[in-house]
Structure 1
Amino acid sequence: MSLSHLASLLTPDARLVLAFSGGLDSTVLLHQLVSWQQQHPQLRVRALHVHHGLSPNADNWALHCQHICQQWQIPCEVLYVQVDGRSSGIEAAAREARYHALFQQLQPGEHLLTAQHLDDQCETLLLALKRGSGPAGLAAMPQQRTVGDHQHLRPLLEISRQQLEAYADEHQLRWIEDESNADSRYDRNFLRQQILPVLQQRWPHFSAASARSAALCGEQEQLLDELLAEQLMQLIDAQGALHFPPLITMSETRRNALLRRWIAQQGGAMPAREALKRITKEVINSREDAKPCLRFGNFELRRYRQQLFWLRPQISLSQHSLTWQNRTQPLCLPDNLGWLHASGDIAELRHPQPDETVTIRFQAQGHHHLVGRAGGREMKKLWHELGIAPWRRERIPLIYFDQTLISAPGLFITREGAASDEQGWQAIWSLQQ
């Protein structure tokens, strides 16, 4: 087997990260990358092994991968993940956890390589058929795709497992076998063990023909992406929310195509047709004062002010309270909400009295008067006037002096908290320290 499949995808000075499970496929790909690196010394390769903790052999697999990489002088890091298959099943949950961990570890300029091959592509297409997928699902796995600032490449996608086995035998490679691969309760294993052998015995080129069909579906989807890109861009704001009223007057086909592409851009899985019908009926067309929320795996779809939001579920912080004792130091907020900093450059807030305690809370009630606004407002009405969606309201840090609401940094200052002279300070809310 030549290395032309690498040369067609990779530049000689690329920075590559291989998802290395230690199985046949990734072992062959790692060996090929080592061989290619010998021809192109500028190439940089490192490996990441994801430890799912699902098998009693998981620790031994990690040690095996580290040993192979040490033998071939490839840096290797083990990533530990937790898999919760209650909502979407073990297979899907493990895949999501694996890719999330891998992409989080990529450094600027690095590409992720995974070792799916021709037979994997055929299985993916058949699983898509089983689900009743459209062209996007039937396109199966692309050979390369962009995820954030990185490229995800599959160099072995046109190479069969039989060819990989022959390569491994020729080079006397050692690999591990995941015992779960023998469990036909998993759909992919059922196809691999009981269906594909029969199909390939009758039609030896079935996998290659399936891959061609997937590629044609992929081309059609890419064409639709290009045709709809400009219209979709006009409907999405800087935070990724989708302005949906124009969708109401469109044909169902066009509306669904735009919804699918928006969800894909937000990192969601391709929704089924029934799911799209629910989005239209239960979210887009729900009454104006409703607060619809649909759950899709690890995401939620919500609506607010003629916009759709694709969100990860967020916990309420309404019961949290922090004391900001030393305002010369930044205060770390819970649940990755960032930091609060006190700056003396601008006098917005009065200084607390010696007997006043500065606390940060995430819930406010009652009637409040804001600087720059005539009259008072109930807190619920204030949030509405400020355009703060309901699910965000109990995750915004609120500064209190004892029991008195002083400020929501960057949003408002109450009359009780306003600086009356130049001897004041400013609270700055930032996501990074």
Structure 2
Amino acid sequence: MSSERTDVATLLKNVAVQLAGCQRVLVAYSGGLDSSVLLHMLYQLMQQRSDLVVRAAYVHHGLSAQADRWAQHCMHTCQQWDIPCAVLPVTVDARERGVEAAAREVRYQALRQHLLPDEVLLTAQHLDDQSETFLLALKRGSGPAGLSAMGATGKLGANSLLRPLLGVARARLDDYAHHYRLAWVEDESNGDARYDRNFLRLQVLPQLKQRWPSFPEAVARSARLCAEQEQLLDELLAASLQLACDTEGALAIDALIPLSEPHRFALLRRWLRAHEVTMPSREQLLHLWQDVALSRQDAEPLLQLGSVQIRRFRQRLYCVAPCANVASLVLPWYPEQGALTLPHRLGFLSLAEQGMRIRRPHPDEQVSVRFGLKGTLHIVGRSGGRSAKKLWQEYAIPPWKREQIPIVYYNQQPIAAVGVFVMREGDTSANDTVWQIVWRMT
């Protein structure tokens, strides 16, 4: 057997070993050389394993005039290999983070949404990609977490993520592709050195490898050592982080105040990672601590980190998704005809055998659901009135949640803040028939 054939067989065997425990996989398939090699390996493994189910997904960023042609190439190749392929269109907004970072973020969001619950995502990053990622992290001034670069295994939401080619040099993938006469597409932007990753690939790494041929392997070792240090810190800090968090995942500020800054920031990073927040810079962590956690008590501070917001309420930090503006919505509801689906993934309301009890409406009362309360309210079990703001505070409802809680109205009269309190106008004590309403999230 020739050395080339032996190397190709070894590559396939190594990938087979890494995928031994996987039965359903989704391959992130761009049509380029790297992902074409990975997908072909999966095609070969399917011939050997009848239990292996493979799908592919092409993320259509729309950044190139050739993107439609690349999508067609991917669909055609998958059709030849009898592998289902989906095209996932995305919109890249590069205004805040630049094209490369924004494209990566929306790409993984699309793949995450497309994954089935029991699937493993496979991506085709290789040894040279690892060097680029390491050097980019070094350029940003990253600590051990950033310098850990990419792991061979990881998570994308609830799904597992594998990079089975991470220890393989791109030159070996090129040999594999030519051995099997694979066809792939070339992204013209890969030759544009204005992009940081391309600059490293085209101008920096070739010189480093010429001077030190084993440079990529040395970088990979350094990345693994950094990852080991991070894993050790994860283990050492896990118990204290758990104690500092409540059942909703909110982080107690008072638990962090006595700590040294390195200890505090290490806990904050792990808390953010648990909420799948893009790892912040040191400056962002300082901003989070000084301007959010330690802001004046009557403030409602907010820090935007990627697609989430960091907020404070009653000496706790929360990671929350930006709230949709639903204050002007009026949703007619006919409860006895079925559940009401709320917009913006706010769940649904329905009648149930158990739930918040309110009186049944009179025949001349129309039922609707709205959001937001103002003015003075009189609620069941309380003498006198309370302002809506004070009621929310008494019931420990954070400010950003107050406008998201469905309010049941009869005509123009608020009857109940579902799941929180009932107004006197909804009191059941003088009524023979009642409704019991539940609010479930989707």
Pairwise TM-score range, normalised by the shorter structure: over 0.9
Amino acid at match of 1:61: W
Matching residue of 1:302: 311
Matching residue of 2:155: 146
Does the 8 Å contact 1:327/1:342 carry over to 2?
Answer: yes
1:192 aligns with 2:229: no
Change (3 A) 1:211 1:427: same
Does the 8 Å contact 2:354/2:438 carry over to 1?
Answer: no
Q: Distance in 1 between matches of 2:22 and 2:424?
A: 60
Matching residue of 1:430: 440
Matching residue of 1:281: 290
Return the match for 2:164 from 143, 152, 155. Answer: 155
In the TM superposition, what are the counterparts of 1:226-245 in structure 2 within 5 Å?
Answer: 226-245=235-254
Query: Per-residue displacement from partner, 1:327-386 (whole Å, max 9, x unpaired)?
Result: 422112111111111236678211222222212111111111211233321100000011
Change (3 A) 1:365 1:347: closer
Does the 8 Å contact 1:347/1:423 carry over to 2?
Answer: no
In the TM superposition, what are the counterparts of 1:387-406 in structure 2 within 5 Å?
Answer: 387-406=396-415
Amino acid at match of 2:433: Q
In the TM superposition, what are the counterparts of 1:158-237 in structure 2 within 5 Å?
Answer: 158-237=167-246
TM-score (structure 2 length as normaliser): 0.95
Query: Per-residue displacement from partner, 1:2-43 (whole Å, max 9, x unpaired)?
Result: 123313321265211100111000000011111122222211
Matching residue of 1:79: 88
Q: Distance in 2 between matches of 1:391 and 1:345?
A: 27
Matching residue of 1:415: 424
Does the 8 Å contact 2:355/2:437 carry over to 1?
Answer: no
Q: Distance in 1 between matches of 2:131 and 2:47?
A: 33
Greater Cα shift, 295-304 or 218-227: 295-304
Matching residue of 1:56: 65
Q: Distance in 1 between matches of 2:230 and 2:356?
A: 55
Q: CA deviation at 1:70?
A: 0.8
Q: CA deviation at 1:421?
A: 3.0
Matching residue of 2:3: none
Residue 360 of structure 1: SS of its match in structure 2? strand
Return the match for 1:260 from 249, 258, 269. Answer: 269
Query: Per-residue displacement from partner, 1:380-417 (whole Å, max 9, x unpaired)?
Result: 00000111111111111101112211001111111111
Q: Distance in 2 between matches of 1:5 and 1:104?
A: 29
Amino acid at match of 2:159: H
Q: Distance in 2 between matches of 1:131 and 1:204?
A: 25
Matching residue of 2:34: 25
Q: Distance in 2 between matches of 1:401 and 1:206?
A: 71
Matching residue of 2:44: 35
Matching residue of 1:330: 339
Q: Distance in 2 between matches of 1:370 and 1:233?
A: 37
Matching residue of 2:100: 91
Does the 8 Å contact 1:87/1:297 carry over to 2?
Answer: no
Residue 171 of structure 2: SS of its match in structure 1? helix
Change (3 A) 1:344 1:229: closer
Change (3 A) 1:346 1:141: closer
Taking only the aligned residue pairs, the percentage that are identical comes to: 52
Amino acid at match of 1:154: R
Does the 8 Å contact 2:335/2:351 carry over to 1?
Answer: no
Does the 8 Å contact 2:356/2:437 carry over to 1?
Answer: no
Root mean square deviation, CA, Å: 1.5
Greater Cα shift, 82-91 or 117-126: 82-91
Query: Per-residue displacement from partner, 1:74-94 (whole Å, max 9, x unpaired)?
Result: 111111111111121111111
Amino acid at match of 1:277: L
Matching residue of 1:65: 74
Return the match for 1:115 from 116, 121, 124. Answer: 124
Query: Per-residue displacement from partner, 1:179-236 (whole Å, max 9, x unpaired)?
Result: 1111111110111111111111111111111111111101110111111111111122
Uncovered stretches (5+) of structure 1, i.e. residues with no partner: none
Q: Distance in 2 between matches of 1:100 and 1:200?
A: 34
Change (3 A) 1:198 1:347: closer
Residue 94 of structure 2: SS of its match in structure 1? coil
Residue 247 of structure 1: SS of its match in structure 2? coil
Greater Cα shift, 236-245 or 56-65: 236-245
Residue 26 of structure 2: SS of its match in structure 1? strand
Matching residue of 2:5: none
Matching residue of 1:380: 389
Uncovered stretches (5+) of structure 2, i.e. residues with no partner: 1-7
